[in-house]
Structure 1
Amino acid sequence: MLRKMIFAAALTLAAAPAASAATTAVAVTNVNLRAGPSTVYPAVTVVPTGAAITTFGCVSGYSWCDIGFGPYRGWVAASYIQVVYRGAPVVLTAPLAPTIGITVVSFNRAYWDRYYVAYPWYGRWAAYPSYAAPRVTSANRSVTCAGSACVGVRGATGVYGGSTAQTRVCTGGACTSTRITEGPNAGMAARTRNCAAGQGCTTNRAVIGPGGGVHTGSRSFQRW
């Protein structure tokens, strides 16, 4: 049903003049359309379940997205937005958004002035806390399995430029995990953990500071 709704919304958009990059979507449930990317901002209107919406972009981290619903403009949490990806309806997530062309946009006073002058709470801009970008600006996670082996990969990038990536491989009851974290000032930390089937685990750590200093450590434990 939602796939049909998204398709119908796409036809509506196709018939309208193009103004800016936008992605067709639907609301997965009744949700308040907010005047900013947080529940502290006033509600502009309620977007009903299955309503066709247009996504114009999301804040860094893709937690909240700027959408259009009929004559209204505002913000909805990404978890309430459903798009079609590879022929199937899926909830919008941070890893998915860039692959379907949803870009990062900003929320500021200019946006407020453009869309909310006619609302009774327009003059209370200063009463609402300024939007702060999330500490994590991007994240990814995936798991693939074949036969008795599985590989899990996840990573994240922080607002100051640091990043972390982790890979886990399990096969035949034995698992290996490697995590590497790089700081924005050239520091780095690495950890590897190896667990044998029915035996124990060994963990090795290494930290390299921005000035080149190195610290290492190792520990092991047995399974009983």
Structure 2
Amino acid sequence: MIKRLFIAIALVISMASMAAAATVAVATGNVNLRAGPSTAYPVVAVVPVGARIVTHGCLSGYIWCDIGFGSYRGWVSARYVQVVYSGAPVVLSPAVAAGVGVAVVAFNKAYWDNYYVGYPWYRSWSVYAVPPRAAYGVYPRARVDSYGRSVECADGSCTATRGVTGIYGGSSQQTRTCADGTCTATRNTVGPHGGTASRTRTCSRADASCSITRTGPRGGTVSGTRFFRQ
């Protein structure tokens, strides 16, 4: 009897803690509610703009958050989560998370088992849980002779420059500039025998897309546009 009483008390405390950790929020746009903290995970439901959601916590860094939407449970990008902070609506970020009671939580197999047993992709945990690069093995160390990197920020934009020189000659220079939600990265590579190649990529948050242009060592050029999955 006493053991059952302790179990009941522990359950009540646990439920109270979970309730205290939940924070009411609003979706800032139409967004896919996913089964894990990545666009690689399957879609559980679509959360419409303005919908009331409950935030149960976020991963470290507050990039992906665990939310409840109606009877659904899953993950969305933190930039789609709007909370009330100091009396004003703001997008959830590390700067305001503690003030609105959103804690750091983990994503693991127990979470998957708790919420997705009835879904057709439930048994594919081992496929979705593998980090993208892990499936291709460990990358060999680059044969680099020298490496340099610098970052400069001014007037609302930042430019990062990185240079690498190989042990057999050849070099690579990359410059990335970000401002007002748009980033442009340019990389120029010179091979040890004089061949050159370049790549320019421009990504826009507003357009949810990246345009890419590549030029090969023999002069061929390929370009295209990729759209983000939300």
Query: What is the TM-score when the length of structure 1 is the normalising length?
Result: 0.50
Query: What is the TM-score when the length of structure 2 is the normalising length?
Result: 0.48
Which structure's residues are more often helix, by fraction? Answer: 2
